[in-house]
Structure 1
Amino acid sequence: MMKLYKLLSFSFLIATLTSCTFTENIYINDNGTGKFSVDMDGSSLMAMAGDQMSEQMGADAKKNIDTTFTFKQLFEQKKDSIVKLSPEAQKELKKLENFVVNSKMNAEKKEFLMTLSTDFKNVNELQDILQTISTLQKLEGGAGANPLGSNFADNGSKLNYTYDGKKFSRKAVIDQQKLAAKAKDTAADMSKMIFASSNYILKYHFPKKIKKVSNPAALFSEDRKTITIQYSFTDYMENPDKLNFDVEFEK
């Protein structure tokens, strides 16, 4: 089987080479616990990857893959590289330990799917998983595997979730200094071109009926307990606060 780090690096290579759909799912239970996941669909690359994919993955490109592993297992493989990172970067990676990664690749069906998921006791525990992944890419070989550099998906913001049974909030606070530095990145133009054809979808499931949502683009499920909001990935990267919204629930 392909080494875990090689598989994860290739998954994010797919994300940067073609249009992808990222779906951020949150399932909240009555007691505030729940499950968080980010699903990445890179199947469009499978239809046109051809020789390029074979060069990246070698013999593994010809195999069907359906594998599940934890970041904790991955970090064990890369422990020698992790100790070379700054204390801040190591702390960021620590947040990923309980995440489970499931990857499926089927060349015949032109399918490539990856899910990063974890359970939580409170939504306040959650952070922006894609930004944290950008820290992972700083490990040996990570930046080289990514044509957009080691800061892919780092949108220069701090994301917070809150839920108290009456209201839910998703709020990204922008770090203007980091955003300005990213704007000067030499890969910025290439990034914009790729991100323009990718989507970032929020799909949140609540235990109560929703009274109102501050974002007028929100779509409701029939039972009004789930909302779906679709953005361009450009918004996620360049205007992360555009994805902010509040939800109020019926009593």
Structure 2
Amino acid sequence: MKLYKLLSFSFLIATLTSCTFTENITINENGTGKFSVDMDGSALMEMAGDQIGSQMGADAKKDIDSTFTFKQLFEEKKDSIAKMSPEAQKELKKLENFVVTTKMSAEKKQFLMTMATDFKNVNELQDILQTASALQKLEGSANVGPMGSGFGNNNSKLSYTYDGKKFTRKAVIDKEKLAEVKKDSAADMSKMMFASSNYVIKYHFPKKIKKVSNPNALFSDDRKSITIQYTFTDYMENPDKLNFDVEFEK
């Protein structure tokens, strides 16, 4: 299966039923780290694996275990990218180093997808999810967004900061864009599709955590990691609900 066909099909699955999206950040002692977004659509495979298999035809008869970079995908779509504006091309270039891993098995009722990249400083991740929504601009992919239709494009600007003493995740809502979306009838359909989906944040730090501003944060035994679960509806409609600060022990 071609990279773009596989990715497009994966995004389609993400829009159909309940999925769990997990945003992972691991920060090392020197400030470098890894960022990833995982999507678990196994619930859909459990409910409709046979129907999905028939849509995929011959590809459904074999398990898929695929790993590729967006750089490879962009090479496949280079003609379409060349027609895009310089600004859009620049946005896509930010995604080149992302590695996409997909595991799908109709027999095992499994569908897992991960987009991951390394970073030298957490500040590099500013608006990374919104940048990923630039994939929608690729020719022939009007309804395709990373990990599902419109994923990442929740009408906010997301930033991360970390200085060794404090970590902050902050989304600033574009109220004008959000108002426009709420007027769009497609928004109701999108809300319905993601009503039973969850958005989970899992962050791992090199220091013990003193406190987190979100009272629902769960700590690991060593207090160096936190997990916070939200509804996907909150992620899309109230992205500032996912804002929080983490303070570390000295």
- Could you tell me which residue of structure 1 aligns to residue 84 of structure 2? 85
Give 1:47 deviation, angstroms. 1.7
TM-score, length of structure 1 as denominator length:
0.93
The AA in structure 1 aligned to 2:179 is A
Give 1:129 deviation, angstroms. 4.3
The AA in structure 2 aligned to 1:205 is H
Shift in alpha-carbon separation, 1:36–1:113, aligned structure 2, 3 A: same
> Does the CA contact (< 8 Å) of 2:209 and 2:247 recur in 1?
yes
Question: For the residues of structure 2 that align with 1:55 and 1:133, how far apart are their CA atoms?
Answer: 30
Map 1:58-207 onto structure 2 (within 5 A).
58-144=57-143, 151-207=150-206
- Runs of 4+ with >6 A deviation: none
Give 1:154 deviation, angstroms. 1.0
Residue-pair matches, total: 248
The AA in structure 1 aligned to 2:10 is S
Shift in alpha-carbon separation, 1:180–1:55, aligned structure 2, 3 A: farther
The AA in structure 2 aligned to 1:102 is T
Question: For the residues of structure 2 that align with 1:133 and 1:10, how far apart are their CA atoms?
Answer: 17
Give 1:60 deviation, angstroms. 1.0
> Does the CA contact (< 8 Å) of 2:71 and 2:97 recur in 1?
yes
Question: What's the CA shift string for 1:186-239, capped at 9, x where partnerless?
Answer: 311111111110000000000000000010010000110000000000000000
> Does the CA contact (< 8 Å) of 1:10 and 1:145 recur in 2?
no
Shift in alpha-carbon separation, 1:66–1:72, aligned structure 2, 3 A: same
Give 1:243 deviation, angstroms. 0.3
Question: For the residues of structure 1 that align with 2:111 and 2:19, how far apart are their CA atoms?
Answer: 10
Give 1:128 deviation, angstroms. 4.4
Structure 1's unaligned 5+ residue stretches are none
Shift in alpha-carbon separation, 1:154–1:84, aligned structure 2, 3 A: same
SS in 2 for 1:17: coil
1:212 counterpart = 2:211: yes
